[in-house]
Homo-oligomer: A and B are copies of this chain.
Amino acid sequence: MMPEDREAVLAVVEATDMFTPAELFFAREQVDIYLHQPQQQDYFLVVVENESSKIVGFMSYGPTPLTEGTYDLYWMAVSREEQGRGYGKELVRWLEKKVKDAAGRMILIETSSQPKYESTRRFYLGLDYQEVSRIPDFYKPGDDRITYVKYFGSKESTEKWKKSGNSY
């Protein structure tokens, strides 16, 4: 993401109708810190464009602080009118390659249990992410935080994960 992409990215985020005012404020703040205070940045923003070079989606991710090889996918959004065309998948696949190239071991994604995030949850499950954690009422009463994970590379991690009763 470049400084000139700011308005296009914020337009994508706002147009999804998924985010609360507090979340939009937070998203704008994250964009501005990324663009203007790079020394405080421990995350990255990337965009995806359609065939007409219009920004239709964006993703925020970063190495998880104080871990070795764990990455967080923090935020992702694709414009409503461009959904279902594979842009979200393109962003996730791009990140997975990036993480694997850096010998990363896992990607974590947190999302909400609210009905409006059902398509989000199905999206990640469809890309072979597994629910690894759920904290009841985390965001607010009735709104759990669900964490999805995908492990890469390490045979030991994979074995341990399987033994824990999860499928991979």
Contact B139–A68 (Cβ < 8 Å)? yes
Interface of A: prevailing SS: mixed
Most-contacted residue by chain B among A106, A134, A140, A142 (CB, 10 A)? A140
Cα distance A40–B65 in the bound complex, in angstroms: 18
Per-residue B-contact encoding for A67-104, CB less than 8 Å = 1, 0 else: 11110000000000000000000000000000000000
Contact partner, A135, options B26, B133, B142, Cβ 8 Å:
B133
Cα distance A79–B22 in the bound complex, in angstroms: 39
Contact B154–A141 (Cβ < 8 Å)? yes
Contact B140–A67 (Cβ < 8 Å)? yes
Give the number of chain A interface residues (Cβ < 8 Å): 34
Of A45-53, A115-123, A156-164, the one contacting chain B is A156-164
Within 8 A of B (CB), among A137-159: 137-142, 147, 149, 151, 154, 156-157
Contact A139–B67 (Cβ < 8 Å)? yes
Q: Which residues of B contact A139 (CB under 8 A)?
A: 66-68, 70
A11 at the A/B interface (Cβ < 8 Å)? Answer: no
Shortest A44–chain B CB gap in Å is: 19
Shortest A50–chain B CB gap in Å is: 29
